[in-house]
Structure 1
Amino acid sequence: MQTSLFVIRHGRTIFNAQDRYLGALDPPLDEDGLRQAAALAGVLAGRADVLVCSPKLRARQTAGVLAAAWSLPVVTIGEFAEREVGVYEGLTREEARAAYPALWEQDITRRWDAAPTGGETIRAVFERVARGLAIVQRDFAGRSVVLVAHGFVAKVIRALLADLSRDDFFRYSLANGQVALYTLGGGAFTLPTWHE
Structure 2
Amino acid sequence: MKTTTLDLIRHGEPEGGQMFRGSKDDPLSELGWQQMRGAITGNDRWDAIVTSPMARCRHFAGELAGQLRIPIHVEDELREIGFGEWEGLTSEQVQARYGEQLSQFWQDPVSGQPPGAEAVVDFYQRVVSGYERWQLQLAGKRVLIVCHGGVIRMVLAHVLGIPLDKSFSGFAVPYACRSRIQVDHSEFGTFRSLISHQP
Q: Number of paired residues?
A: 185
| Distance across 1 between alignment mates of 2:146 and 2:22 | 15
TM-superposed CA distance for 1:161, in Å, is 0.9
What residue identity is the alignment partner of 1:13? P
Is the Cα–Cα contact under 8 Å of residues 101 and 112 in structure 2 kept in the other structure? no
Q: Does 1:157 align with 2:155?
A: yes
TM-score, normalised relative to structure 1: 0.83
TM-superposed CA distance for 1:178, in Å, is 2.1
Is the Cα–Cα contact under 8 Å of residues 36 and 177 in structure 1 kept in the other structure? yes
Pick the structure with more helix per residue. 1
Is the Cα–Cα contact under 8 Å of residues 37 and 65 in structure 1 kept in the other structure? no
Q: Which residue does 1:59 correspond to in 2?
A: 57
| Distance across 2 between alignment mates of 1:102 and 1:170 | 16
Q: Which residue does 2:197 correspond to in 1?
A: none
Q: Does 1:69 align with 2:67?
A: yes
Is the Cα–Cα contact under 8 Å of residues 23 and 85 in structure 1 kept in the other structure? yes
Question: 1:63-142 counterparts in 2 under 5 A?
Answer: 63-101=61-99, 103-104=101-102, 107-108=104-105, 110-112=108-110, 115-142=113-140
- Give 3-state SS (helix, strand or coil) of 2:122's partner: helix
Q: Which residue does 1:2 correspond to in 2?
A: 3
| Distance across 1 between alignment mates of 2:76 and 2:128 | 12
Where does the alignment leave 5 or more consecutive residues of structure 2 unmatched? 193-199
TM-superposed CA distance for 1:44, in Å, is 5.2
| Distance across 1 between alignment mates of 2:63 and 2:40 | 7
TM-superposed CA distance for 1:124, in Å, is 1.0
What residue identity is the alignment partner of 2:23? A
TM-superposed CA distance for 1:12, in Å, is 1.4
TM-superposed CA distance for 1:42, in Å, is 3.3
TM-superposed CA distance for 1:184, in Å, is 2.5
| Distance across 2 between alignment mates of 1:135 and 1:87 | 31
Pick the structure with more strand per residue. 2
| Distance across 2 between alignment mates of 1:44 and 1:122 | 36
- Give 3-state SS (helix, strand or coil) of 1:145's partner: strand
Label 1:44 to 1:60 Cα distance change in 2 as closer, same or farther (>3 A).
Answer: farther
User: How big is each residue's C-alpha offset from its partner over 1:11-48, in whole Å with a ceiling of 9 and x where there is no partner?
Assistant: 21134x3x211210011101111112222343453x10
TM-superposed CA distance for 1:93, in Å, is 1.4
Q: Which residue does 2:15 correspond to in 1?
A: 14
TM-superposed CA distance for 1:104, in Å, is 4.1
Report percent identity of matched pairs: 28
TM-superposed CA distance for 1:82, in Å, is 0.6
CA-based RMSD? 2.4
Q: Does 1:145 align with 2:143?
A: yes
Question: 1:165-180 counterparts in 2 under 5 A?
Answer: 166-167=165-166, 169-180=168-179
TM-superposed CA distance for 1:171, in Å, is 3.0
Deviates further, 109-118 or 169-178: 109-118
TM-superposed CA distance for 1:157, in Å, is 1.0
Deviates further, 4-13 or 68-77: 68-77
Is the Cα–Cα contact under 8 Å of residues 52 and 76 in structure 1 kept in the other structure? yes
